[in-house]
Amino acid sequence: MTRRRLGLLALWAVVALELAVIVSSAWTLGAGAGRVVQADQLPAGAPTTAIVLGAKSADGEPGTYLRNRLDVAVDLYRSGQVDRIIDSGNDSDDAGNEVQVMRTYLQAHGIPAQRIVDDPAGLNTAATCRRAATEFGVHRALIVTQGFHVGRAVGLCRAEGIDVVGVIAPCQGCTALSLARNYVREPLLARPRAVLTVLTTSR
């Protein structure tokens, strides 16, 4: 292959990447418009379901991201905003038994066991939203995650027919490096993949 042809291929690859980033970011912003709030901005209304997205756990304890999400879910339950919490994640040993860790944490913070629904097959955000709709009959929900992630989560759940509002979890204790990594990963990898998922698998 000639140098000129390699250069053209590289150029097209860059253009394709830029287009994917632009389109997927526009989709994320559109999906989340008017549907992303802080917990204290939620209007009063009938209790609904909270979906807590799994994240890193180790040694039976939630990692920083997950602990912040769970704390928001606990507050939502205590304030009467939700009456059911779906803890969705990867419950394999390799992933740190995310769902068991979440259930244990929620119960330790006063959430009744019967108000917690375990989803051990929420291997990614798309799977969580799909299973919430098809396996757990969710039609309306609050989904709890950090700000860099919440728009994509809202978009994926809306694609499954769920009337969803994203609730931003803080990131107290998160390192600057991990936050930077996530804010870079979202537009370059996660959002384009989410759009592809919606186009190919959602109802």
* pLDDT per position as a tens digit, 158-171: 999 999 999 999 99
pLDDT digits (tens, 9 = 90+) for 84-117: 999 999 988 887 899 999 999 999 999 999 999 9
User: Is domain 3-201 classified as CATH 2.102.10.10?
Assistant: no
Q: Give the separation between CA 17 and CA 166, rounded to whole angstroms.
A: 27
CA dist 49 and 26 (Å) reads 27
C-alpha to C-alpha distance for 115 and 80, rounded to whole angstroms: 12
Using alpha carbons, select from 197, 149, 135, 139 the residue that is nearest to residue 52: 149
Query: For residue range 10-44, what is the model confidence (pLDDT) as tens digits?
Result: 556 555 556 655 565 666 766 777 899 998 888 87
Beta-carbon contacts of residue 195 (< 8 Å; ≥ 6 apart): 20, 23, 24, 27
Domain spans of the chain, in order of start:
3-201
The pTM assigned to this predicted structure is 0.86
